[in-house]
C-alpha cells in the first residue's frame, strides 16, 4: 500500500521551479551503509556529506525534497545560530562558542562552493544582509558589533540611521548592522539542486515515502515505509518537527513555531524604491522581526510574526498590515500573490540537536528559524562522524534532547512569545 502523492504547498518558490523531477516511492528491500530520514536541508546535507565521503546512502522523504521549512523559508543565508553568539559564550565559554560559530562561517562558504560546483540555478545570489534597529540605541549597537567582530570575526559594519534611511525609507528604523558576507538565494531551488547532486553521485532518493518504524536487526537498523524497507548500519533522523511518533525522545525534545511569508505581484519600480531602495535582505532586531527582500521582477517577499498555535486568518492581510506600518507609501500599490506558513523546530536551548542515541542511531535536527548555514555545518559533522569516526559532533552535546515540556512546554513558550511581543511594542 502506498500513500497518496503529496506535492509542495503553493509558494513563490514552488511557482518558480526550474525543473520538477520526482524521485520514486520506496518499495521492496534496499540495503545501504546509511539511511537518512527526511529530505530537508538537514537530511540533504547529511546525505551529500556521506556520498562525498564514499558512503552508500538511501534518503527517504515523506513528501517532496525540501517540502518542509527548507523549501519555503526566506532565503537569508547568515552565519551563527538561533541561540546567538553571546548566549553561546555564556553557556560554553568563549573558545567553544567561537569554534561553533566558525563552523557556520565555513558552512556559508561551502554553500557558495556547492552552488558553483553543482551549477545550481538558485539566484539571484545577492551578498549583504542588513539588520535594522527599532530602538535609538546606537552606542549599545556599536558595542555589540565590536564584541561580535573581536570575539567571532563576524565582519559586521555599523550603519548610522541616515545611512539606513537612505535605503529603507521609514522613520521607524534607527541604526543598523550590515553583514557583507551573508547573502540571499532561492532555497527550494538550492535544496533540490543538492538532491540532484546526491543522485548524480549514486545516492538513492525516495520521495513520498514516510518512515513509519525503525527497528534494530542484529548490527543493522531497519527503516520501514508503507511499501518497503531500508536495511542500514546507520540511520540518521532529520525529521524536524514532523516526527509524528517515529521517535518520541526527539519528538518531545522540541516544539513547533510557525512563521509566515507573503510574496507580492510585481510592484512599480518607482513606488517600490520610494520605500525599499536596496537589493539587500533586511530584518530587524526585535524578537518578532519583520524580514523582507526584493525578488526578481520587483516582487517583494515579506515575512514575519511567529505563533505556536494560532494561524492568522488571512496571512497576506497580516503581512500587509506590518508592511504598511513601516512603509505607508506602499499602500494601494501592493497586490499579494501567494502567502504561506512554515513550521520551525525549536529546542528550548535554541541550538541544533546533533548526536547519537545508540550506536548507529543518529539525529540531526532542531534548527529553528536559523537553519541554512547551520544545517550545512550539521550535515558535514554527522557525515564526518559516520564516515570517518570524527568526534566533532560532541561539541553539540551540551544542547541535548531533554524534554521540552510536551504540551505544557508549548504553553510556556507561547507566554514567553506574548511577553516578548509586548516588550517589542513598549520599546517602539
Ligand atoms: C517561513 C520560514 C522562514 C525561514 N527563513 C529562514 C531564513 O531566511 N534563513 C535561515 O537560515 N533559516 C530560515 N528558516 C529556517 C530554516 O528553513 C530551517 O531551519 C531549516 O530549513 C530546517 O531544515 P530541516 O531539514 O531540519 O527541516 P525541514 O526542512 O522541515 O525538513 C524536514 C523534512 O523531514 C521530512 N520528514 C519528517 N518526518 C519524516 C518521516 N517520518 N519520514 C520521511 N521524511 C520525514 C519532512 O517531510 C520534511 O521534508 C525559515 C523557516 C521558515 C518556516
Q: Is the CB of 59 under 6 A from ligand 1?
A: no
* Counted domains in the chain: 1
Residue 35 CA, ligand 1 centroid: distance in Å? 18
| Cell, residue 42 | 538537514
Per-residue pLDDT of the chain (428 residues; tens, 9 = 90+): 445 668 999 999 999 999 999 999 999 999 999 999 999 999 999 999 999 999 999 999 999 999 999 999 999 999 999 899 999 999 999 999 999 999 999 999 999 999 999 999 999 999 999 999 999 999 999 999 999 999 999 999 999 999 999 999 999 999 999 999 999 999 999 999 999 999 999 999 999 999 999 999 999 999 999 999 999 999 999 999 998 899 999 999 998 888 999 999 999 999 999 999 999 999 998 878 999 999 999 999 999 998 776 677 899 999 999 999 999 999 999 999 999 999 999 998 999 999 999 999 999 999 999 999 999 999 999 999 999 999 999 999 999 888 776 666 666 666 666 766 676 666 54
Atom of ligand 1 nearest to the CA of 367: 19
CA distance 295 to 274: 16
| 175 domain-assigned | no
| 112 domain-assigned | no
* Residue listed under C-alpha cell 486568518: 313
| Cell, residue 343 | 513550521
Q: How far is CA 252 from CA 83, 239, 241, 247, 275, in A?
A: 19, 13, 10, 9, 44
**Strand ranges (E), 41-119:** 57-60, 76-77
Atom of ligand 1 nearest to the CA of 375: 23
Quote the domain boundaries for residue 372: 12-73+188-253+349-405
Residue 204 CA, ligand 1 centroid: distance in Å? 20
CB-CB contact of 371 with 362 (8 Å): no
Cα torsion 367, 262, 422, 276 to 10°: value is 110
Give the residue from 69, 70, 44, 414 showing the smallest Cα distance to 255: 414
| 314 domain-assigned | no
Ligand 1, pocket-test mutation among 43, 240, 366, most atoms within 8 A of CB: 240
| 203 domain-assigned | yes
| 383 domain-assigned | yes
| Per-residue pLDDT, 287 | 74
Residue 353 CA, ligand 1 centroid: distance in Å? 14
CATH of residue 35's domain is 3.50.50.60
| 17 domain-assigned | yes
Give the residue from 361, 365, 360 showing the smallest Cα distance to 399: 365
| 142 domain-assigned | no
- pTM for the full predicted model: 0.96
| 3-class DSSP state of 123 | coil
| 3-class DSSP state of 38 | coil
CA distance 132 to 283: 6
| Per-residue pLDDT, 420 | 66
Q: Is the CB of 69 under 6 A from ligand 1?
A: yes
| 197 domain-assigned | yes
| Per-residue pLDDT, 270 | 98
| Per-residue pLDDT, 309 | 65
Ligand 1, pocket-test mutation among 239, 262, 340, 377, most atoms within 8 A of CB: 239
Residue 317 CA, ligand 1 centroid: distance in Å? 25
Q: Which residues contact 294 (CB under 8 A, 6 or more apart)?
A: 272, 276, 278, 279, 300, 301
> Contacts from 143-150 at CB under 8 Å and sequence distance 24+?
144/177, 145/177, 147/86, 148/85
| Per-residue pLDDT, 306 | 84
Residue 81 CA, ligand 1 centroid: distance in Å? 15
CA distance 420 to 412: 12
Amino acid at each position: 500500500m502506498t500513500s497518496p502523492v503529496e506535492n509542495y504547498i503553493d509558494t513563490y518558490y514552488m511557482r518558480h521551479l526550474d525543473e520538477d523531477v520526482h524521485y520514486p516511492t520506496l518499495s521492496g528491500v534496499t540495503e545501504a551503509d546509511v539511511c537518512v530520514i527526511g529530505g530537508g536541508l538537514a537530511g540533504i546535507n547529511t546525505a551529500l556529506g556521506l556520498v562525498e565521503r564514499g558512503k552508500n546512502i538511501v534518503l527517504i522523504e515523506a513528501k517532496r525534497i525540501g517540502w518542509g521549512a527548507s523549501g519555503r523559508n526566506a532565503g537569508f543565508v547568515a552565519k551563527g545560530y538561533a541561540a546567538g553568539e553571546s548566549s553561546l559564550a555564556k553557556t560554553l565559554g568563549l573558545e567553544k562558542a567561537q569554534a561553533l560559530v566558525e563552523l557556520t562561517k565555513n558552512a556559508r562558504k561551502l554553500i557558495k562552493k556547492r552552488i558553483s560546483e553543482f551549477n545550481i540555478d538558485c539566484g539571484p545570489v545577492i551578498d549583504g544582509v542588513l539588520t535594522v534597529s527599532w530602538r535609538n540605541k546606537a552606542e549599545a549597537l556599536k558595542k555589540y558589533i565590536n564584541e561580535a567582530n573581536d570575539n567571532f570575526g563576524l565582519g559586521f559594519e555599523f550603519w548610522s540611521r541616515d545611512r539606513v534611511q537612505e535605503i529603507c525609507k521609514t522613520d521607524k528604523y534607527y541604526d543598523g548592522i550590515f553583514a557583507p558576507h551573508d547573502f540571499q538565494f532561492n532555497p527550494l531551488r538550492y535544496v533540490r539542486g543538492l538532491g540532484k547532486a546526491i543522485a548524480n553521485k549514486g545516492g538513492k532518493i525516495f520521495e513520498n515515502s514516510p518512515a513509519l518504524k525503525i527497528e534494530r536487526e542484529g548490527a543493522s537498523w531497519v527503516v520501514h515505509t508503507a511499501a518497503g524497507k531500508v536495511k542500514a548500519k546507520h540511520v540518521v533522523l532529520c525529521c524536524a518537527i514532523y516526527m509524528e511518533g517515529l521517535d518520541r525522545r526527539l519528538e518531545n525534545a522540541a516544539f513547533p513555531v510557525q512563521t509566515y511569508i507573503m510574496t507580492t505581484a510585481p510592484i512599480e519600480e518607482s513606488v517600490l524604491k520610494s520605500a525599499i531602495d536596496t537589493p539587500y535582505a533586511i530584518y530587524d532586531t526585535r524578537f518578532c522581526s519583520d524580514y523582507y527582500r526584493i525578488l526578481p521582477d520587483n516582487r517583494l517577499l515579506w515575512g514575519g510574526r511567529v505563533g505556536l498555535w494560532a494561524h492568522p486568518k488571512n496571512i497576506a492581510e497580516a503581512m500587509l498590515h506590518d508592511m504598511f506600518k513601516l512603509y505607508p507609501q506602499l499602500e494601494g500599490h501592493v497586490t499579494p500573490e501567494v502567502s504561506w506558513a512554515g513550521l520551525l523546530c525549536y529546542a528550548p536551548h535554541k541550538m541544533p540537536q546533533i548526536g547519537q542515541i545508540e550506536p548507529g542511531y543518529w539525529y540531526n535536527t532542531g534548527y529553528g528559524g536559523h537553519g541554512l548555514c547551520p544545517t550545512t555545518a550539521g550535515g558535514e559533522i554527522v557525515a564526518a562522524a559516520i564516515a570517518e569516526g570524527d568526534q566533532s559532533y560532541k561539541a553539540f552535546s551540551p544542547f541535548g534532547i531533554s524534554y521540552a515540556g510536551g504540551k505544557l512546554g508549548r504553553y510556556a513558550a507561547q507566554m514567553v512569545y506574548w511577553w516578548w511581543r509586548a516588550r517589542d511594542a513598549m520599546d517602539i
